[in-house]
Structure 1
Amino acid sequence: MSKPTYKNALKNPVFNTVSKAADALSLDAYVIGGFVRDYLLKRGDAKDIDIVAVGSGIELAKEVSKNLSHKPKVAIFKTYGTAALKTAGVELEFVGARKESYTKDSRNPKVENGTLQDDQNRRDFTINALALSLNEDTFGELLDPFDGVKDLDDKIIRTPLNPDITYSDDPLRMMRAIRFATQLNFTIEKESLDAITRNAERIKIITNERIVDELHKILASPVPSIGFALMHKTNLLPHIMPELLALQGIDEKEGQRHKDNFWHTLEVVDNIALTTDNVWLRWAALLHDIGKAPTKRFDKKVGWTFHAHEFVGSKMVYKLFKRLKMPLNDKMKFVQKMVLMSSRPIVLASDVTDSAVRRLIFDAGEYVEDLMTLCEADITTKNPKKFKRYHNNFKLVRDKIVEVEERDQVRNFQPPVTGEEIMKTFNLKPSREIGIIKDAIKEAILEGDISNDYEEAKALMLKKGKELGLSIN
């Protein structure tokens, strides 16, 4: 029976170059994995192309470079037996076909040369084991030993071999299964899903950096909750983000209940995914309520409370980022700020005063729109009247922000009177009096007692200096 042929997938001239180079070296060569999968899914042209050679992938890469007019540099990774080069907007990675064997305590396999079948056997999922021949006499022929095309049609994530072995050998594949299910809106086959649950503990041998890379991709998906719900179902979540899992459950005392903050959080993440591609803002949505588990209390008069959960949550962000080896830079500080301020616009919505809006703009700075986007995503009520009312309230806040900002210009606030001018005016060296005067000016502007104007600020400076017993120079 003849194999299906997909020459149209290989229209990029670089495939002809690889074909000629492979035939010149008498190697069988194939494009395999994500490129083939995405072509069949009509997901657009992939920029990363994996080439498998039955023989030396490094020698094939060198031959391809030699045959390209601009002779791109070949990056060689001898330890892994791979090579890579960039040409015409794509990156090609070459590897020799191989078979792998694993030890219990590492995801790094012992590698031997192998056949194409060996190489397809070691692939994580059937949909990633699809290969197209690049040799001239079989150019474009599809090799699909595990019915990966059928799994694409059926929207199924399935391992080529025994899933327990696949996931135990390289536990990162469990995260990849969940990530692909989330990105593609596919279902993980039951046997495979059960195997993830059985092997969940094995995720501990995977580095945090690798796990976070998959978390980023899950969060960047159209419906991120799919991935987090699957991590929860398969018991991976306790090993990765116990802070998130701690939000699950509804307690009841004296007839009073609170909402399940875990599932609420996943709704918020899905909501924000509809309005922003900013993965760090999506992280903020994921973590905005993590302070609620440690701050949950029951008060007979008011019921369930979560006092200062935003403050506690912002501190937890740092610890979580540090534990997962995520960047402790401005990205982390952004997420912290969003979590810390996540309730401010909600409180403000009930009484939209100029001074409260000025303070919100001052504290949120350049991130005030992100903060409003987060707060709007936080509306998960199923009551249509409440939903409409809350959104209308936030629209009033947004309108007020525009009005106040145009008039008072307090975003990224710089005081109209500098510390240097205060020192010069009163012949001062660095001292607490300078801070007192600067704070007085800032507070007066935020309260609306004076305009964000140099002359008014200077007049207040002189008045405050006099109150402090300072002499004008």
Structure 2
Amino acid sequence: MSDAAPPTISISEVERTVARELERIAPVIDELGSRFQAAGHELALVGGPVRDAMLGRLQTDLDFTTSARPEETERLLRRWADAVWDVGRAFGTIGCRKGDWQVEVTTYRSEAYDASSRKPDVDFGDSLAGDLGRRDFTVNAMALSLPGRGFEDPYGGVVDLAAGVLRTPGTPEDSFSDDPLRMMRAARFAAQLGFTVAPEVVAAMTAMADRIAIISAERVRDELVKLVCAPFPRRGLTLLVETGLAGHVLPELPALALERDEHHRHKDVYEHTLTVLEQSIDLEHRLAAEGEPARPDFVSRFAALMHDVGKPRTRRFVDDGTVTFHHHDVVGAKLTRKRMAALRFSGDDIDAVSKLVELHLRFHGYGSGEWTDSAVRRYVRDAGDQLERLHILTRADCTTRNRRKAERLRRTYDDLEARIGRLSEEEELASMRPDLDGNQIMEILGIPPGRDVGAAYAHLLELRLDDGPMSFEAARDALLAWWSARPDRP
């Protein structure tokens, strides 16, 4: 995957693109604009939808800003929409659905953080110009007044959009003081749009990076997820590292720049990690259903980003001058779990990413492909429902410039996947379980439910992994032999 920025566009191209998009969304914006105008209120399409219309990025989510207060907005929407809900009345936002369109309407507002608060103070404004002035970047500070479709661009957003540059409407210091999360959003938009961040914005992010500490973990997490799942994540992650923001929100990432990869000593582990991330993105099509397009997969991307974070803690220098990172997979899984918990990720996401980090070296533990059937079964069992993502991470983790070595690793992993496929057809590996269930174990041994049943089940599962499926009779005989040999049996 290339992380090159998209080409810049001309103003005339922007105008043509907007004209096409306005015709597509006209049924919504014109009717809604007329309703608010008839009620004596201003309404404007604003922010991301205006920006995306100029970029030719089709959306069904539309954001509006209005002079109406939330109660009046809700009243007007209920007469028009199929469903209405309260997104955040205290922040002035009411949401609704009209057919396939998702709409949010927010009262003109201004907001700012004080030095210690995690939540912004919100004051409703009284003008579109004032509302645009409080927005994060000039490319998001453009609006289309409705129903007349008058274009409002007081801060030169269309010029910055055409040039592919992120700037703030006012000074970046004032913007980031109002909401420090905007520093994360700068990195996220660089990753989403492929834009360059203006030097003065980068300078302010660097000087004010520690202000991100007042933002809640949940809001930081949400921006990080959007960044990682964007088309150009390297651009955003690099910006976080270079400005020092990563040191506050994902310190494991910049720490990698201090390390060396044990297999490719000419490579910085930080750069290796970003390459693994990009290569994992190129393999996301493996997760899509047949006939469906590939979609960003946060779990596989974040596992790629975190797979080597255990290296700084495990680095050891050997007498011959080499560097080792023994057990960095296990240490990295623990660090990943701790970081994701601090960022308030769900338990399912934490378990999935941590498992992938812990297993990312498993393939390399079996030499050049001398896999027994038992080893293949255990590989599948340990990966569980993350097997396809483990395939992606293991393949992406090969960044050697030695073509012969890379081709050998690829063929070896091809062989492993083929082995998994054959055994899966023969043995139903995806639902691997012992050849006797708990009830059968209790009946054969004549014991009640309890620890002994669990121990017997675990023993039979180990036999299943080692030897494959057994007949009922063979499994029964193996169970009885194990039971009779137990020194602590009743």
TM-score (norm 2): 0.86
Q: For residues 123 and 441 of structure 1, do their structure 2 counterparts lie closer, same or farther at Cα, with a shift above 3 Å needed? A: same
Note the alpha carbon deviations across 1:339-384, whole angstroms, 9 max, x for none: 1111111223612322211211122123222211110011111222
2:10 is matched with which residue? Answer: none
SS at match of 1:428: coil
SS at match of 1:374: helix
Note the alpha carbon deviations across 1:167-209, whole angstroms, 9 max, x for none: 1221100111110110111110111111111111110111110
CA drift of 1:61 comes to: 4.2
Matched ranges for 1:225-264 at <5 A = 225-250=234-259, 257=265, 259-264=267-272
Note the alpha carbon deviations across 1:203-261, whole angstroms, 9 max, x for none: 011111001001101111123222111100111011011122222224699xx957422
Note the alpha carbon deviations across 1:239-286, whole angstroms, 9 max, x for none: 011122222224699xx9574222211111111112223211212111
CA drift of 1:118 comes to: 0.8
Matches of 1:252 and 1:377, distance apart in 2: 15
Matched ranges for 1:254-293 at <5 A = 257=265, 259-276=267-284, 277-293=296-312
Q: Which residue of 179, 191, 201 corresponds with 1:170?
A: 179
Q: Which residue of 72, 78, 82 corresponds with 1:59?
A: 72
Contact 2:84 2:94 in 1 (8 A): no
Contact 1:6 1:132 in 2 (8 A): no
Q: Which amino acid aligns with 1:175?
A: M
Q: For residues 409 and 57 of structure 1, do their structure 2 counterparts lie closer, same or farther at Cα, with a shift above 3 Å needed? A: closer
SS at match of 1:326: coil
Matches of 2:439 and 2:183, distance apart in 1: 59
CA drift of 1:333 comes to: 1.1
Matches of 2:387 and 2:43, distance apart in 1: 53
Matched ranges for 1:27-176 at <5 A = 27-47=41-61, 49-56=62-69, 58-66=71-79, 68=80, 72-73=83-84, 75=86, 77-100=88-111, 102-106=113-117, 108-135=120-147, 139-176=148-185
Matches of 1:127 and 1:73, distance apart in 2: 29
Matches of 2:487 and 2:276, distance apart in 1: 53
- Which runs of 5 or more residues in structure 1 are unaligned? none
Note the alpha carbon deviations across 1:401-425, whole angstroms, 9 max, x for none: 1122222333332111123322222
Matched ranges for 1:212-227 at <5 A = 212-227=221-236
Q: Which amino acid aligns with 1:264?
A: H
Q: Which residue of 402, 413, 438 corresponds with 1:383?
A: 402
CA drift of 1:120 comes to: 1.0
Q: Which residue of 360, 364, 380 corresponds with 2:379?
A: 360
1:443 is matched with which residue? Answer: 462
SS at match of 1:104: coil
Q: Which amino acid aligns with 1:268?
A: V
CA drift of 1:460 comes to: 1.7
Q: For residues 367 and 95 of structure 1, do their structure 2 counterparts lie closer, same or farther at Cα, with a shift above 3 Å needed? A: closer
SS at match of 2:256: coil
SS at match of 1:221: coil
RMSD (Å) for aligned C-alpha atoms: 2.7
Contact 2:329 2:359 in 1 (8 A): yes
SS at match of 1:210: helix
CA drift of 1:468 comes to: 4.1
CA drift of 1:317 comes to: 2.1
- Which runs of 5 or more residues in structure 2 are unaligned? 1-14, 285-295
SS at match of 2:132: helix
- Is 2:417 the counterpart of 1:398? yes
Please say which of residues 432-441 and 342-351 is displaced more in the overlay: 432-441
Matches of 1:434 and 1:238, distance apart in 2: 49
Q: For residues 42 and 165 of structure 1, do their structure 2 counterparts lie closer, same or farther at Cα, with a shift above 3 Å needed? A: same
Please say which of residues 383-392 and 370-379 is displaced more in the overlay: 383-392
Matches of 1:431 and 1:199, distance apart in 2: 58
Note the alpha carbon deviations across 1:71-98, whole angstroms, 9 max, x for none: 6435374422332222122222222323
SS at match of 2:91: coil
1:205 is matched with which residue? Answer: 214
Matches of 2:302 and 2:150, distance apart in 1: 42
CA drift of 1:469 comes to: 8.2
- Is 2:349 the counterpart of 1:335? no
Matches of 2:481 and 2:195, distance apart in 1: 68
